Chain A
Amino acid sequence: MNFAAQLAPLFLGTLMAFAETDERPAVLAHPLDVEHPPAAFVAVNKSLRETNCIRADFAEEKKIKVLKRPLVSAGNLIFCGKLGLYRALKTPFVQELLVRPDGIAQRDPAGKVEKVEVDKQPLAKGFIDAFLLVFSGDDKALGAQFELYFDGTEAAWSMGFVPKRKPLSKFIASMVVTGKKNVLATLEVIEVNGDRTFTRFENVVTDKELSPDERKRCFAWD
C-alpha cells in the first residue's frame, strides 16, 4: 500500500483554527425537517433538478483573514448537471476551471491543462461533491451530507447547508445559496477559520441547452 496518499490530505486539517462565529447567516435560524420539508423547498429543488443547464456571469469576493484585502474575481460559468461546472475566470487573470465528479482541471490561456484527479485528493473530492451537490437540487443527497436550512418562498428563497461530515465539516462552516425559482442569485461560503467567499450571479440563463460546441470547448478537455 502507499502511505503517501494516506498522509497527504490530513495535516492541512490539523492547522485549521476553531470556528469563528461572527455574522451567522440568517437562514441558519430556520432548520429544515428533512422528513417534512416545506413545499417551497421541495418546489425549488424540483425546478433546480429539472434545469439542465445554468449559465451565469459571476462576481466573487473572497475574504481571507490573513490577506489585507479581499480577492476579487469575475467571469462566467456553466453548471450542467452531470457534466459538472465550467468556470471561466476573466479577471484578475484568465483561467478556465472545470469541476467534474472525477476531478478538477485548470486550463491557462496558453491551453495548458493541469488536472487534479480526485481519487488521490479526498479533500478536494469532498469539496467537489459538495459544490456540485448544492446546485443539483438532489434533496436526498443533500440531506445526507448537510444539515439543511430553508427560508422564504419559491419565488424568493435562501437555503443553508452545514456539512455533517468530515472532512468537509473541518473546513466549511456553512454555505448559503439564495435565488428566485430556479435562478440562482448568490452563494456564500463561510469557512471554519472565518474566511468567507461571496459570489453573486447575474444574467442567469436556465432554459438554453448546451450546444455541441460548448460541450466540446467547456466540458471535454481531454
Chain B
Amino acid sequence: MNGSAASPGTEIASAPQRDRRAALWALCVLVVAGWLGLVFSRGLKLETSVLAMLPPSEQDPALHELTQQLSGRAAKTVVVLIGHAGREQALAAATFAEAALRDSQAFSSVKGSFDTQTERAFFDFYFPHRYEMLSARMRAELEKGSGGDELVLRVRSLLQSPASSLYTGLLERDPLLLYPDVLQGWAATSIGVTASDGFLLLEKDGATYALLSAETAADPFDANGQRASIDAIEALRLTLAEKFADSSLLYSGVPRFAAHTREAMKSDIMIIGTGSMLGTALCILLAFFSLRPFLLSFLPVAVGTATAMLATLLIFERVHFLTLVFGTSLTGLGVDYALHYFCAHRLGGKDWDARRSMRAILPGITLGVFTSVLGFSGLYFTPFPVLRQFALFSSVGLIGAWATVVCWFPPLLEVPHRRSAPPWLHGQCARFLALWSTLRAQRGAKIVLAGLCLAAFASPFFLAFEDDVRRFQSAPAELLAEDARVREIAGRADDSRFVLVEGASEQETLERLENASVLVRGAIDDKLLDNSRDLALFLPSRSRQLKDHALLAEKLLPNFAALKAALDDIGFDAPVIEELHRQLATEPADLLDVDKWLASPASELLRSLWLGATARGFGTLVMLGGVRDGAALEQRLAGAPGVHYVDRVRDMSKLVERYRVDSTRLVVVAYIGVLIALMIRFGPRNGVQVMLPSLLSAGLTLACLVASGTSLNLFHLLGLLLVLGLAVDYGVIFAEYGTSEATALFAVLLSVLTTVIAFGLMVTSSAPPLRALGASVSLGIVLALVFSPLSCLSSKSRDQSASPT
C-alpha cells in the first residue's frame, strides 16, 4: 500500500495540502448548506402515496397521463357522510356540516346541497333533446315493435297514477312524456341514491346518510399536507355529536390516508432518527471513552445527510416520505468511516499520527465506499422512483460522509488518545477471533459450517413471495373500516379499477363508449360488479341521437293520424299535437355534442369522466364500483375496439412482481460482480474467502425469513443488496487492514452495531416496505459480523495479494 512507501519528505509537504483539502471541503459543505436552506425555504414537496413509489405504467403513455390525472384528483377529494336514523335530522345535520366545512377554509370546494340553478341547467340542456335521446328501455320497446298505441297508453297510465303531478308540468311541451323516461333511465342506473332537499341521500341499515364531497384547499404534496382539512372534519365530528344527538359522521378519501401516513412517517423519522443517533453516540462513547470522537461522529452524518438531501431534492421533483425515513438510517452508515479512524486513533497510542493513519485506512474505506455505492447504484437504475431516491440518497450521503472523514478528521484529531491500552471491547474481539481460529481447526465446526452453507444456498429454493402493492401500505384498522363503510354506503367507485375508452375522434370515442357501457351493464346484471358510471346516457353520440330520432319517426309518423286521435282523446290541444309532428318530421339540426356539453353547467358533475384529447385521440372513462370478478369483466371487454379494462393495483402488482424477479437477478449479478472484483483484487481463492461471509449472511438471512414464515417482497431482496454492500465492506476491511485482526473486528463490530441500530429501528416503522428492508438488513448484518472472521486471510496469502503476479 502507498502509505508505507511514502517518504518522510513527502509527508511533511502534504500536511498543508491536506489542510487545503479540508478548507475546500468546508467550502463545499457551506455551499451545500446554503443551497439546502434555499430549497427548504421554497417549501418541500413530499409524496406519501404507496403508488407513487412505484414506476409509472411504462407501456402506455396515455394511460400514464390518465392515472396521473385520476390520482391527482383523488388526492384532494374527501367524501363525508352525515347519518342519522331520522331523515330530517340527517338533513339538518348535513346542512350544518356543509356550512361548517365551507367556513373552515380548509377546502377549496364543498359539494353537498344542489342549488336550483344546477337543476334548471340540466333541464335547459337536455329537455330540447328529448326526441333524440331515448332511454334504453324505450329504445328496446320501440325496436321490438311498439308504436303510438303503446306510447299513448304509457302517457295515460302515468297520468292516472297517484304520482301524476310529477308529469303534468311537462305535458304541453312533451305530450309523450319522453323526458321523464330519460330521467327514469338515468335513475335506473343508480345505486340507490336519492336526492331530497337538494342533498344526496343514501339509506343504509335504517339510517339516512347525506353525502358531501369536498376538495382540500392544500396541495396534496405540501409538506404540511392536508392536515387542516382533516382537522376541520374531526372538529366537525365533535360539534355534530354535540349539536345533533345520535348523528354520525363517516369520511374517507386519499387525504385522510395521506395525513395518517404523513404522521406515522414523521414519528418514524423521530424514532429512527433519534434512536439511531443516540444509539450510535452511545456506542462510540462506550467504545472510546472520549468526548472528541463522540462529537466528531456527528459531522459525517450531518454533512452526509445534508448533501444527500440536496442531491435528492434537486434531482427528484417530489421526495417520498419513505426516502426521508430511510435517509435517517444513514446515520448508521455514514458514521462507519469515522469509526475506522477512531479505532486507529484509540489503538494508536502515543505514537498517533493523524495523517499517516488516514493514509493507512484510506484504501480500505475508499474501497468500502466504492462497493457500497456500487451496491446502491444498482437500485438507481430500477424504474422505481422511491428506490432511485433511496439509491441516490444513500450513495451521495456515503460519499459526503466519506469525504468529511477523509478531509476533516486528520486536522481535527491530531491529539493522541490518552489511553494506550486496548479497550475492553477490543479484548472481546480478540477472544472472539481466537474462538474462530480454534473452530476453524475443528472437524465438528467445519461440518456445522458446511451445514450452514448448505442451508444458505438451499434457502432460495424455498422462498414465498408477496407482490400485492396494497400490502405495502399500512393504515390503522379503524381508518380502513371507516373507508369500507363509506364505500359500502355511498357505493364509491374504485379509483384503481376502471375502463378506458378511446377513439380517434370525439364521436368515435362516444360510439365506443356506448358499446362498452352496454357490456359493463351486462356484467352488472351478471353480478361481476355492483355499479358503474359513465357518460353514455348523458352524452350520446351523434349517430345514436340521429338513430333515436329516426326510430321515433319511423314508428310514429306512418300512423300519425291514429296517434293524433288518441292524443286528442286524452285532451291535448291541437297545437301541441302539431308541434309533436313537426318535431318528429324534422331532422334534428342541433345535436348534443361534447363542446356544448362541456360548456354547460349541466356537465359539471360528470365532466371528470371525459378525458378529452389523449395521446391516441380522445378518451373517456367508465368508473366501476364493487368489482367482484375483474378478470371476467376484462374478458367481456376484450373484443371491443378502443376499450381497455385497467386495474392499476393488479398492473402495479404485476410490475412489482416483474421487478422483484429482476431485482433477484440484480442481486445475483451484483454478488457475482463483487466477487469478481474481489478475485481481481485478492486473487481467485482469497477473493472467494473475502466474499464468503457476505454470501453466507445473505443466504442465512433468507433461510431465517423462510423459517419464520415471512412472505418475501421486493424490499427484502433490496435489503440483501444493502447487506452485500455492507458485508463485503467488512470482509474487505478484514482482508485489507494493516493492523491486527482484532482491531479489524473491533471496527467492524462498531460499524455493525451502528448499522443494526439504524436498520433494527426501521423494523418498528409503520411502512411495511421499511419493515421488510429493516428486517433483512439487520439480520443480514449481524450474520455478516458473525462470519466476518472467515475473511481473515492468512498472512501468507495477504502477502500474495499485496503483490499479485
Does chain A have a CB within 8 A of B605? yes
Which of B123, B213, B493, B533 has its CB near the most chain A CB atoms (within 10 A)?
A: B123
A220 CB → nearest B CB, Å: 20
Q: Which of A1, A10, A15, A195 contacts B170 (CB 8 A)?
A: A15
Query: Which residues of chain B from 156 to 176 have any CB-CB distance to chain A below 8 Å in the complex?
Result: 156-157, 159-172
Q: Which of B164, B194, B197, B570 contacts A119 (CB 8 A)?
A: B194
8 smallest A-B Cβ distances: which pairs?
A5-B190, A67-B571, A4-B186, A122-B194, A8-B187, A11-B123, A5-B193, A15-B169
Q: Is the CB of B163 within 8 A of A11?
A: no
Does chain B have a CB within 8 A of A38? no
A106 CB contacts on chain B under 8 angstroms: 157, 161
CA separation between A97 and B491, bound complex, in Å?
32
Does chain B have a CB within 8 A of A39? no
Residues of A within 8 A of B (CB): 1-17, 60, 62, 64-71, 73, 89, 92-93, 95, 97, 99, 104, 106, 116, 119-128, 131, 166-167, 171-172, 191-193, 195, 197
A39 CB → nearest B CB, Å: 29
B123 CB contacts on chain A under 8 angstroms: 11, 14-15
Known contacts: A66-B168, A66-B172. The answer to whether A10 contacts B114 by CB under 8 A is yes
B213 CB contacts on chain A under 8 angstroms: 1
Q: Is the CB of B166 within 8 A of A97?
A: no
Q: List 23 A-B contacts (CB under 8 A).
A: A1-B191, A2-B491, A5-B192, A6-B194, A8-B184, A9-B183, A10-B114, A11-B120, A11-B183, A12-B166, A12-B170, A60-B160, A62-B164, A64-B171, A71-B159, A104-B163, A106-B161, A119-B203, A120-B192, A120-B194, A124-B163, A125-B194, A127-B166
A128 CB contacts on chain B under 8 angstroms: 162-163
CA separation between A106 and B160, bound complex, in Å?
11
B184 CB contacts on chain A under 8 angstroms: 8, 116, 121
Q: Which of B169, B191, B491 contacts A16 (CB 8 A)?
A: B169
Q: Is the CB of B195 within 8 A of A1?
A: no
A5 CB contacts on chain B under 8 angstroms: 186-187, 190-195, 200
B193 CB contacts on chain A under 8 angstroms: 1-2, 5-6, 120
Known contacts: A1-B491, A3-B606. The answer to whether A124 contacts B114 by CB under 8 A is no
Does chain A have a CB within 8 A of B442? no
Considering the complex, give the chain A residue whose CB is closest to the CB of B184. Answer: A8
CA separation between A39 and B165, bound complex, in Å?
34
Does chain A have a CB within 8 A of B737? no
Considering the complex, give the chain B residue whose CB is closest to the CB of A70. Answer: B571
List 13 other contacts, CB 8 Å, given A8-B187, A99-B162: A2-B533, A5-B191, A6-B194, A8-B186, A11-B122, A62-B160, A66-B171, A68-B572, A69-B571, A104-B161, A120-B187, A126-B196, A167-B197
Q: Is the CB of B191 within 8 A of A13?
A: no
Does chain A have a CB within 8 A of B93? no
Known contacts: A8-B187, A195-B168. The answer to whether A3 contacts B605 by CB under 8 A is yes
A171 CB contacts on chain B under 8 angstroms: 165-166
Which of B161, B187, B198 has its CB near the most chain A CB atoms (within 10 A)?
A: B187
A69 CB contacts on chain B under 8 angstroms: 571
Does chain A have a CB within 8 A of B189? yes
Does chain A have a CB within 8 A of B180? yes
Considering the complex, give the chain B residue whose CB is closest to the CB of A99. Answer: B162
Q: Is the CB of A120 within 8 A of B169?
A: no
A92 CB → nearest B CB, Å: 7
Does chain A have a CB within 8 A of B447? no
Q: Is the CB of A122 within 8 A of B161?
A: no
Does chain A have a CB within 8 A of B116? yes
Q: Is the CB of A127 within 8 A of B163?
A: yes
A119 CB → nearest B CB, Å: 5
CA separation between A192 and B119, bound complex, in Å?
19
Q: Give the size range of B's interface with the partner.
A: 35 or more
Q: Is the CB of B157 within 8 A of A1?
A: no
Which of B165, B201, B203, B605 has its CB near the most chain A CB atoms (within 10 A)?
A: B165
Does chain A have a CB within 8 A of B360? no
Considering the complex, give the chain A residue whose CB is closest to the CB of B532. Answer: A2
Does chain A have a CB within 8 A of B252? no
B211 CB contacts on chain A under 8 angstroms: 1
B188 CB contacts on chain A under 8 angstroms: 120
Which of B180, B183, B492, B533 has its CB near the most chain A CB atoms (within 10 A)?
A: B183
B605 CB contacts on chain A under 8 angstroms: 3, 6-7
Does chain A have a CB within 8 A of B579? no
Q: Which of B165, B180, B195, B571 contacts A71 (CB 8 A)?
A: B571
Q: Which of A3, A71, A95 contacts B570 (CB 8 A)?
A: A71
CA separation between A54 and B605, bound complex, in Å?
46
CA separation between A192 and B168, bound complex, in Å?
11
Q: Which of B79, B161, B533 contacts A97 (CB 8 A)?
A: B161
Known contacts: A5-B186, A122-B195. The answer to whether A193 contacts B168 by CB under 8 A is yes
A125 CB contacts on chain B under 8 angstroms: 194
A30 CB → nearest B CB, Å: 25
B157 CB contacts on chain A under 8 angstroms: 93, 95, 106
A191 CB contacts on chain B under 8 angstroms: 165, 168
Q: Is the CB of B191 within 8 A of A67?
A: no
CA separation between A48 and B484, bound complex, in Å?
45
Query: Which residues of chain B from 470 to 527 have any CB-CB distance to chain A below 8 Å in the complex?
Result: 490-493
A49 CB → nearest B CB, Å: 21
Does chain A have a CB within 8 A of B531? yes
A68 CB contacts on chain B under 8 angstroms: 571-573
A166 CB contacts on chain B under 8 angstroms: 196-197
Known contacts: A1-B211, A69-B571. The answer to whether A10 contacts B195 by CB under 8 A is yes
CA separation between A167 and B119, bound complex, in Å?
14
Known contacts: A1-B492, A68-B571. The answer to whether A10 contacts B159 by CB under 8 A is no
Q: Is the CB of A12 within 8 A of B492?
A: no
CA separation between A97 and B123, bound complex, in Å?
29
Q: Is the CB of B166 within 8 A of A93?
A: no
Known contacts: A15-B169, A123-B166, A171-B166. The answer to whether A4 contacts B161 by CB under 8 A is no
Known contacts: A1-B193, A7-B122, A68-B571. The answer to whether A62 contacts B159 by CB under 8 A is yes
Q: Is the CB of B531 within 8 A of A2?
A: yes
Considering the complex, give the chain A residue whose CB is closest to the CB of B609. Answer: A3
A120 CB contacts on chain B under 8 angstroms: 187-188, 190, 192-194
Considering the complex, give the chain A residue whose CB is closest to the CB of B126. Answer: A11
Considering the complex, give the chain B residue whose CB is closest to the CB of A131. Answer: B162
Q: Is the CB of B201 within 8 A of A7?
A: no
Q: Is the CB of A121 within 8 A of B122?
A: no
Does chain A have a CB within 8 A of B101? no
Considering the complex, give the chain B residue whose CB is closest to the CB of A119. Answer: B192
Considering the complex, give the chain B residue whose CB is closest to the CB of A170. Answer: B165
Q: Is the CB of A17 within 8 A of B191?
A: no
